[in-house]
Structure 1
Amino acid sequence: MKKRNKRTGPVMLATTVFALVALSLSAVSEEEPAMAPLQLAAATLEEVEPRTPISAVPYTIVAPGSYYLTASLAAANSDGIIISADDVTVDFRGFGLVGVRPHRGVLLNGARRNVEIRNGSIRGFGRGIYAQERANDGHRIINMRVVDNEGAGIYLNGSFHLVKDCTVSGNADSGIFAYTTSIITGNNVYFNAGDGIWTYLGATVTHNTVNANDGAGIYVSNYCTVRDNTVVTNNLINDPMLGGIRISDDCFVKNNTVGGNGRAGIFVQRSGNALEENLITDSPSGVFFNTRGNYYANNRFSGNGTDLMNTRGNKRGAGNGSF
């Protein structure tokens, strides 16, 4: 009897299946060609946000939009950038703007709204960034270096401004001037011939480092909040009405480090103020009260000539002490 080949059945089955699969794939490839890979082109920044280059100064902006510097620029005998429109952003892109006195590096011409200036430097003008009209509203100055100008470094009249993460130094007047309900935060302000920071009416001054200014380090009045700042070696002119921080009328001053300032660490001009949890060191007077009707608590003192001056008529809370 002839022996049966045990491999014949499986081999024939595998061969048949392979042939059917190959035929099926051939039919699919003939009927539905394979799709090419999808190509996605990345949008450029100009396509996402159309921007206008600034390649020379003086340059006047007359329409809303986004503008940017293409290089560092010098203004020979004029203002640098004149903004005569609302809703404008100027990105310096790390470049600088250099000029001469008495002109302005960036001039906000008239009553402007919603202008942002960011990411660069301004040097050598009469004023660095200047908005004179009281109706200016909602400007933002971010990551700018504004140095060695004849007047104020940053001067913003009006309300609801933001000055953030800037370096402002060597100016022949105040470093930062921002009027009502503004926020001034995260700045380095030093070696200015006036006050380091001056603001008024409902402003917030926080997380700034303010050193070696001729006037007060921080000068505020009318419902301002001053907290979490480092304020050292200011009032170099030794004005008896100034100090590291000078406050007037209903301000809240908390958790500041105040050291080595002329005349007083904190000079309290008027009433309605509250001073809490400040560290005040190495000044002739730690806190000098020029009037009654203020409150102070949990402040720490060290190395002052007198920690607290003229406390009569002011309310002492718990926790004030020397170490």
Structure 2
Amino acid sequence: MSLKHLLSAAACVAAIGVAPIAHSASINVLWYGQGSAYNTQMTNLAAGAASYDPAGDGSLSWNFTLWNSSDPTPTFSAYDVLVIGSSQTFGMGFDATRLLGAKSEIEAARGTRTFLSGQDADWHYINGPGAVDDGPRGFLINAVNWAGSGTGLGIVSLADGWAGSGSQWWSNANSFLAAELAGTTAYFQEESVVIPAATAGFPVNEGLTTAGLSNWGTSSHSGFTSVPTGYLSINDSGSFQGRYVTIVTEAYAGGCTSGCGDEPTPVPAPPTLLLMGMALFALGAVNRRRMR
């Protein structure tokens, strides 16, 4: 083999060795089930999730499972994301018994990404403004794809209905969120939800607009009076200064929604480093020959 061919082959193999690891185009979604009508609508949302790709940079399909009241406690580690929606019946809250009873199991499986919002986008997906891509539909799909693209069990939780202070089950002593959210949640009605300029380009806000997240006929029912440690606000209250509507895990707030798994940049394996060294040696030999 000529020196030129050796150089070419070594460079090609080295390039393969440092190529990023391919990721699956689907995630396993566990959704906290409610009544039959609610479950049907969320199943429909899941079925069309792969068609939502406003930036044209790829999408994820969902392997969708409902966790209904008659079901045993799931094996949470088998899922990429647990989604806990709002109330099926406006103003009534919902039965959080399953969540509170599975605290230790959820904590054991919980991963790197958590998405919490005072917006009841699932209720509005069903009742209006509906399947709007820069409104309830896009909001829900982005949230699930972002939380499910981390490592371990991601969490998406919305306000649990217009019933009391903040999201009631979040603050329950048996909630897996209680300690980290202590003293930060509050009940307030908000029609103006603002995407800050600093987070507008994040994948979790892909395709969304301030206008599309606002004016739902009470767009948000609760939120945060301060941002808890370890979180970042991606949607702020437009009417109440210093209040926040949607918060996400700060370390991965700008992370992907395409199943990246929070993996570090791949480091070339030793054989790859050897091949790269061979390529550099060959390149040096070619240069020395030209100088003669």
> What's the TM-score, normalizing by structure 2?
0.25
Bigger relative CO (Cα 8 Å, ≥ 6 apart): 2
TM-score by length of 1: 0.23
Larger proportion of helix: 2
| Structure having the higher Rg | 1
